[in-house]
Chains A and B, each alone.
Chain A
Amino acid sequence: MSKARKRRTFLTAVAFILPFFILYTVFTIWPVVQGFYVSLHKWGLMGKQSFIGFDNYAKFIGDKNFWKALKATTFFVIITTPMLVILAMVLAMLANRVTKMKKSLRIIFYLPSVLSVSVASFVAKYVFTPYRGLVNGVLHATGILAASEEPQWLQDPNLVWITISVMTVWWTIGFSMLLYLSALQDISFDIYEAAMIDGATSKQQLFYITIPLLKPTIWLVSLLQLIACFKVFGQIQLITGGGPGSTTRPLIQYIYETAFGKNNMGYAAAMSYVLFAILLVLSIVQQVLQNRGED
């Protein structure tokens, strides 16, 4: 290439990249840097107040509410992720069977995922409301629940976790199911045919062919869902507001309340780095596993 053309190509490339570069730098990379700077200060909604070094980091170590929120988030992750990983596989297998309902099942299992978080939470909230809500209504109508019993799905500190977890599975499982479905469709039918000729039962086919071949997808879904569950916020804030008390308040909600409710941006930024660190480790593991899977 001639020098003049090289120069022209370079300038064109710069012009093409520039809009993306600016937006990316300002709104993705800069906040990470800025966040650290903010975390070293006493910082309110109106702006910087004073430099306090690492005080904000020392603060959360002794902050009971912070640990409670981290514990609530972790608890949510532990009870929800396995359900998502396993049930999504079951749904995908059911929706992949050769039946007349194949297409309808696929559409129905994914349908809740189309709803926005506020609608999904709203519907769930009314579904779980005692007396006139759907869940208690159906449990009464089918006789599973005695007419005198009225479980408080939104108030009872134990039941409320079931509510949030079930709602999250219902609302978000479609995506994981799609990942399994596309993996299932990649498994060649020849393998099953060979197994059938050898007399393998469908149970054996499931445990010795399908599940082993789905292993990379199981890993991928597990990590993606771990990451997604750690970021839980919307549905909890909308269904319980973090309650009763602060039983279900997740980390992001505590950060949000600290920053915008208590006007303490510096402390909120410091706590954000803990969340950042957790998610960073998980996403590095995910990238490594995914790259290994592709090779």
Chain B
Amino acid sequence: MIKKKTPGYWVLNVISIFLAVLFIGPVVWALAVSFQIEGKQIVSVFDWFTPPYTLQNYPEIVMNSSVPTWLKNSLIIAVVTTGLTVIFSALAAYALAKLPFKGSNVVFMYFMLGLMVPGEATIVPLFITVNGMHLIDSYAGMILPSIAGSMTLIIMVSFFKGLPTELLEAARIDGASELKTFFVIALPLSKTIISTVCIFSFIGSWNNYLWPLLCAMSEELFTLPIGIPTFAGTYTVDYVRPLTASMVASLPMIIIYIIFEKQIVAGITAGAVKG
């Protein structure tokens, strides 16, 4: 169907472009600043965007700061959290959906309670608990509390319930153990739901702020969200170093997002609507 292009069409186009500029403006500006030479005289806002440019800020940050360490920590924590979340949630969800046993309903109800518990409101006792286990200031302390989430489990249970039981029965009759049936039959059929959970869990871990702020005490264990703010000195007048560090921390995510936009968006929407 071809619509006539009315004046309203163009007005809405202009509004769209204006809003798009507002949304992307700060990021473009931060990127532009990261190519500026430190100490440049800034008279008007245009000076942030005009040459001379330099590429030196990036190697400077990567070589002479802890950003690479923090990047490594963020990656390790996000990857391990995501992996364990998927395995443990899938195993539990599969048992609740496909292995009939007495009391399975009670267990499911118990797992749903977590929906009512906001992590922010239990941060103090969580700290006491983790401290009691001597896991403060360790990878384990940062990873373990974020694995078992009610939302993920519920999404997975409802997915596994939809899997045809005949397929699993067939494998069992062939003598496959339950663990083998799970890994060889059930998991490969759940690729979409698993990728949704992965995206959720990875982004959640990557952006987690409050818990690592409490749990990571030593600088070598900082994640990017905790480390980046240390670039702001109390009396800093320098824009270039902090914003370059911000870009180093964000560009990988921005690039991944632009490439996998479709999958990420599908994952986020599916998770929110089903949850």
Contact = CB atoms under 8 A, between A and B. Distances in A.
Whether A and B are associated in the same complex: the answer reads: yes
B162 to A, nearest CB: 16
Report the contact-size class of chain A (Cβ under 8 Å from the partner): 35 or more
A119 B228 contact: yes
A125 B153 CA distance: 38
Interface string A65-104: 0000000000000000000000000010011011101001
B91 A20 contact: yes
A202 B12 CA distance: 12
A7 to B, nearest CB: 10
Contacts of B113: 29
Interface in B210-261: 210, 214, 224-226, 228-229, 231-232, 239, 242-243, 246, 249-250, 253-254, 257-258, 261
A94 B16 contact: yes
Contact of B12 (A35, A97, A238): A97
B115 interface: yes
Contacts, number: 266
A255 B107 CA distance: 32
A95 B116 CA distance: 34
Nearest to B130: A27
B57 to A, nearest CB: 15
A49 B89 CA distance: 38
A38 interface: yes
B88 interface: yes
B185 interface: no
A2 interface: no
Contacts of B128: 31, 34, 38, 43, 265
Given A20-B88, A38-B128, A122-B228, A31 B243 contact: no
Contacts of A52: none
Interface majority SS on A: helix, strand, loop or mixed? Answer: helix
A9 B100 contact: yes
B16 A141 contact: no
A134 B26 contact: yes
Contacts of B153: 20
Interface majority SS on B: helix, strand, loop or mixed? Answer: helix
A31 B12 contact: no
A107 B178 contact: no
B48 interface: yes
B111 interface: yes
A126 B88 CA distance: 42
A234 B45 contact: no
A259 interface: yes
Interface string B1-27: 001000010001101110110111111
Given A17-B91, A19-B88, A112 B27 contact: yes
Interface of A: 6, 9-10, 12-14, 16-17, 19-21, 23-24, 26-32, 34-35, 38, 43, 91, 94-95, 97-99, 101, 104-112, 114-119, 121-127, 132, 134, 137-138, 140-141, 170, 175, 178-179, 181-182, 202, 224, 227, 231, 233-234, 238, 252, 255-256, 259-260, 265, 268-269, 272-273, 275-276, 279-280, 283-284, 287
